[in-house]
Amino acid sequence: MNSVASHKFSARTQLATLLLAGTMLAGPAFAQAVQPPAVPAPTVPAPSSEAAPTAATIRSITVNGNQRLEAQTILSYLRLRVGQTYDRAMLDQALKDLAATELFKDFQISDDNGALTIQVVENPVINRVILEGNKRLKEDKIRPEIKLSPRQIFTRSKVRADVARIIELYKRQGRFAATVEPKMVQLDQNRVDVVFEINEGPKSKVRQINIIGNEKFSDGDLKDEMATKQSSLMTILSSNTSYDPDRLAYDQQKLRLFYLSNGYADFRVISAVAELTSNKQDFIITYVVEEGERYKFGKVDVESELRDFRPETLKTLLPMKEGDWYDAKAVEDTVESLSETAGLFGYAFADINPEFRRDPETRTMDITFNVAESPRTYVERIDVNGNTLTQDKVVRREFRLNEGDAFNSFGVKRTENRINSLGYFQENLEIERKEGSAPDRIILETNVEEKPTGELSLSAGFSSIENFLLQASVRQRNFRGLGQQLQASVNYSSYSKSIELGFTEPYLFDRNISIGGSVYRRDLNSFNFINNDRQTTFQQITTGAQVTVGVPLTEYLSAFGRYSLNFDDVTLDRTLYYFGDDCDPLVAGRYLCDAIGKRTTSLLGFTLAYDDRDNRIRPTRGQAMSVSQDFAGLGGDVKYVRTRLNGSKHFNLGSRFILNISGEGGYIYAFGSPPTPTSDKVRLTDRFFLGEPQMRGFDIRGVGPRVIRFGLPANYDPAAPVLDTSLANRNNQVDDALGGRAYYQARVEVDIPLGSGAKELGLRPSVFLDVGSVFGVRRPDLTTLGDFLDPADGFTKNLCRNSTTGTQSFATRAADAAAGTQFTTCPEGTTSNLSPFEERFFGDTWMPRVSIGAGVNWNSPFGPFRIDFAYALRKEEGDDTKRFSFNVGTQF
């Protein structure tokens, strides 16, 4: 038997760069898979019947061509053994076994009278996997999905699988026209580079949504209910304009819910088809619907097998009444409400089944809510999982239920709100309820996902209030995983500087008592504007410390006590505001002269706070109220009582619209005598001020009592017609806000939801209405024309002053015959002069100021950004209004 039988299965690569697979296209209706080159089935040339028997014995097996693999390893994949009889079917199976290993790109078996020779060419080793053309989807998103990696054996099946994975990633991004072309670059030593050439294509948008069969509701009404939006200029920021098969199924449910909530109980979506346009870039979605007839509620009843549930009582609480239009959403909410009510009585797994009886003739829907019997449930165990940094006790102390307690759904919901308010874990955390070891046992499982609680902020920017500003702060809200808060901050701007260190322990010695303290230094430069130039009026330096202790009185009511000690130093620029060694009231104003000096304030205060909001960080419902008082006078130089009231309420209006109504007010009463008989007992630096940013539409300290100086020309004759000192041009006047003893402020604001695309950018727009006023200050003594009236001729004159000697006199009038004008001159030796002006007092009224506007918060890459546009609907004479304001690089 001298014949030789050869079996081959090969996929040789001849070019340095070889196309491994054709372009893969993917879409909702079709997909063209990458296929390897067609390979004919292995065949065995048939020798003559006289030369080869049907079966023979294997005398030897030799492996040739292997480089990395041992011959014995290759033989282990085969069922051929020396001494074994074999036939053609066994050789065919051996070829299939070699192909199944995917280790070889070419192999064959030669037979010489039982001496078998296995000739192999091993698949190359991957040197590198290279991605080209991916711009919209970065490598860190693609590489975790790719199974090919360096030093692996190259196989075509792995390449096809990786191409499919990359295509799927782009489909999730809405890029259905993306193509991936794999190529292989042959290297020496049987190595290859695998290159995935990616053509991302445009993002597939929903060009059009067609609805067929709707008669009761317009296309616009139905499209508003869908999550998928039609691509247009109005939805440019929305990510819901891309095609998503899952969203298509969700929209069908949304349509069904909409019709069922409006009484159309027979509504159904007959078909929903998404068609890719001819350019493979956009989709056209077509819905075919059948509305059916509209139903009303018939008889509505409740049947209960729970002894604590009285059907006649529960029936009166049902939101639907006989004769109302049928509303499936109301039925669903009623089932949830009954389940929550059962949970309040300890029935965690109460079975509420609505039974429907439809009458097509009268088009009514009878409903009976059946409350099945179930055992009262007790908490068997509380599990907390996923907390890698936060200690268990920090989470467990927020639970309103303990192990062994009767189950209470209200306690579970309250626990969820309290854990969410910590801000340590993912948003909208929910506690799972699992069956325990017995029917009357329940396990509460809390799966948390830690998120960063440390904040390092370094920012610089420009604001319309502070001009140039710089901020650096470090804050850890969950220090050591114990819920402690540690913070340090430094702020610097053109007109204010501060540094503060603080620490808070929320549970002192593991008891529900909070204690915190801070030390600080604040430098504030108050200012006004003269001819558009910002001018500092007084500087206040405050150095102090504060200690706060808080205890809960009830679940929602807490009490806080605090003590602070402040050292204040208020100064004026001596070169500008002093005449001789004393503060000059003609230059500074009597109200500023009364404020200067060093004072110590010893302050003892308390706060009663009520808070039942669902989330203290970003609430959507609930209310918060507080009353606080501070008593100054336990030592120190200042004595007063300051009272403040605050309140806010949040409403979830649906569709992610949140309404916030808030209000606050305060009053300060000072003891003792004023610094001078004509000044106010409450110091300028202790009064309330109102304006930007608290009340938008008005400038900083732009609301309330103020003194405005109007400049007068020299030699003005008081007997002449009244000089026009209107408020039209505020840039040419000196405006000093005085503040007040009392203030109030109210705000109505609605947060407007945007699409997920805008939400990912951190945009949170809102519209608002602000109302407020500050008032109640003693009218100051004002400078009038009489202070500049020269008794010699009855005209107003410049005051000529000598700060060295402390003397002053009026300028003399002279005439310039050539020019035909008059002018005033000061006596020789006078070092300064003061031009005539008149002061007027405005704004001391409780009448409200009102502004409306819109704003947006943006968590920009260069720091928090807040921009507001507001218009003052109502103001008082003297108020400073401002329509546009923004802040960059600082907290708001």
The per-residue pLDDT for range 4-22, each reduced to its tens digit, is 334 443 333 322 333 333 3
Which pTM was predicted?
0.59
* Confidence (pLDDT) at 835: 80
DSSP state of 442: E
Q: Is the peptide bond before 202 cis (omega within 30 degrees of 0)?
A: no
Q: Which residues contact 511 (CB under 8 A, 6 or more apart)?
A: none
Q: Which two tokens stand for residue 402?
A: 């303990």
- The string of pLDDT tens digits covering residues 559-572 is 999 999 999 888 88
Percent of the chain with pLDDT over 70: 82
Tell me if 550 sits within 8 A of 560, measured CB to CB: yes
Helix 328-344 to helix 245-261 angle, to the nearest 10 degrees? 90
- The string of pLDDT tens digits covering residues 671-718 is 877 777 777 888 888 899 998 878 888 987 889 999 888 877 666 666
* Confidence (pLDDT) at 6: 41
- The string of pLDDT tens digits covering residues 600-653 is 999 999 999 999 888 777 788 889 999 999 999 888 888 999 999 999 999 988
Of the candidates 394, 384, 539, the one whose C-alpha atom is nearest the C-alpha of residue 446 is 384
**Distance from C-alpha of 391 to C-alpha of 39, rounded to nearest angstrom:** 62
Q: Which helix (H) or strand (E) holds 419?
A: helix 409-422
- The string of pLDDT tens digits covering residues 352-405 is 888 899 888 889 999 998 888 777 788 888 888 888 888 888 888 888 888 888
Percent of the chain with pLDDT over 90: 16
* Confidence (pLDDT) at 829: 67
- The string of pLDDT tens digits covering residues 733-792 is 777 888 999 999 999 999 888 765 555 566 788 899 999 999 999 888 888 878 888 887
Q: Is 353 exposed, middle or buried (0-12, 13-18, 19+ CB in 10 A)?
A: exposed
Q: Which helix (H) or strand (E) holds 886?
A: strand 884-888
Q: Which residues contact 233 (CB under 8 A, 6 or more apart)?
A: none
DSSP SS3 for 252: helix
**Neighbouring C-alpha atoms within 13 Å toward the C-beta of 543:** 3
The yes-or-no verdict on residue 468 having pLDDT over 70 is no
Q: Which two tokens stand for residue 880?
A: 């400073």
Average pLDDT over residues 23-29: 31
Q: Which two tokens stand for residue 322?
A: 């006989």
Of the candidates 586, 588, 592, 578, the one whose C-alpha atom is nearest the C-alpha of residue 836 is 586
Of the candidates 351, 365, 371, 337, the one whose C-alpha atom is nearest the C-alpha of residue 260 is 365
**Distance from C-alpha of 874 to C-alpha of 876, rounded to nearest angstrom:** 7
Task: Mean pLDDT check: name the lowest of 67-71, 247-251, 713-717.
Answer: 713-717
**Distance from C-alpha of 117 to C-alpha of 6, rounded to nearest angstrom:** 9
From residue 581, alpha-carbon distances to 13, 397, 498, 585 in Å are: 99, 62, 30, 12
**Distance from C-alpha of 735 to C-alpha of 746, rounded to nearest angstrom:** 26
Name the pLDDT band for 238 (thresholds 50, 70, 90): low
What is the SS3 assignment for 280-335? CCEEEEEEEEECCCCCEEEEEEEEECCCCCCHHHHHHCCCCCCCCECCHHHHHHHH
- The string of pLDDT tens digits covering residues 514-550 is 999 999 998 877 655 444 455 556 678 889 999 999 9
Question: Would the CA dihedral through 23, 26, 27, 31 be positive or negative?
Answer: positive
**Distance from C-alpha of 204 to C-alpha of 208, rounded to nearest angstrom:** 12
Over the chain, what is the mean pLDDT? Answer: 79
**Distance from C-alpha of 596 to C-alpha of 772, rounded to nearest angstrom:** 29
Q: Which two tokens stand for residue 759?
A: 């939400």
Give me Rg for the CA atoms of the chain.
41
Alpha helix ranges (H) inside 523-678:
574-577, 585-588, 590-595
- The string of pLDDT tens digits covering residues 805-854 is 777 788 876 655 554 555 667 777 666 777 888 888 899 999 999 999 99
**Edge-to-edge strand list for the sheet holding 807-810:** 807-810, 799-802, 832-834
From residue 87, alpha-carbon distances to 41, 56, 91, 94, 258 in Å are: 18, 7, 7, 11, 70
Tell me if 196 sits within 8 A of 132, measured CB to CB: yes
Q: In terms of DSSP bridges, do strands 807-810 and 582-583 run parallel, antiparallel, or are they unpaired?
A: unpaired
Tell me if 343 sits within 8 A of 369, measured CB to CB: no
DSSP state of 116: E
